[in-house]
């Protein structure tokens, strides 16, 4: 029984090694290259829309930066409160 299991494990390991070896030697088939599509040239209307979208994105970025500053300030205030609370716990244990 135990010998059968050993033979099975060894055979499985050999087969796995053979499969990996064959898989490594196979070369992928080259993919035929297709002609590149013509370059996209936006018209005046699309350029105006893109400019407007960029402006809106820049405004959103400014707003997000402001929110991040406020959140950072709030986190720093909470850190200070946590430090003060820790100090109060330490002093209350001493007294």
Whether 42 and 50 have beta carbons less than 8 Å apart is answered as yes
The pLDDT value recorded for residue 60 is 95
| Per-residue pLDDT, 23 | 67
User: What is the per-residue pLDDT for 78?
Assistant: 93
The model carries a pTM of 0.46
**Residue 49 above 80 pLDDT?**
yes
Q: End-to-end alpha-carbon separation of the chain, Å?
A: 72
pLDDT for res 35? 72
Token digits for 39? 């370059």
pLDDT, one tens digit per residue, over 12-42 is: 888 888 777 766 666 666 677 777 777 777 7
């Amino acid at each position: 029984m135990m010998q059968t299991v050993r033979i099975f494990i060894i055979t499985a390991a050999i087969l796995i090694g053979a499969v990996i070896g064959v898989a490594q030697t196979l070369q992928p088939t080259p993919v035929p290259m297709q002609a590149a599509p013509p370059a996209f040239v936006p018209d005046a209307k699309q350029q105006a829309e893109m400019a407007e979208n960029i402006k809106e994105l820049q405004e959103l970025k400014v707003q997000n930066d402001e929110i991040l500053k406020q959140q950072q300030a709030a986190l720093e205030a909470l850190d200070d409160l946590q430090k003060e609370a820790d100090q109060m716990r330490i002093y209350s244990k001493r007294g």
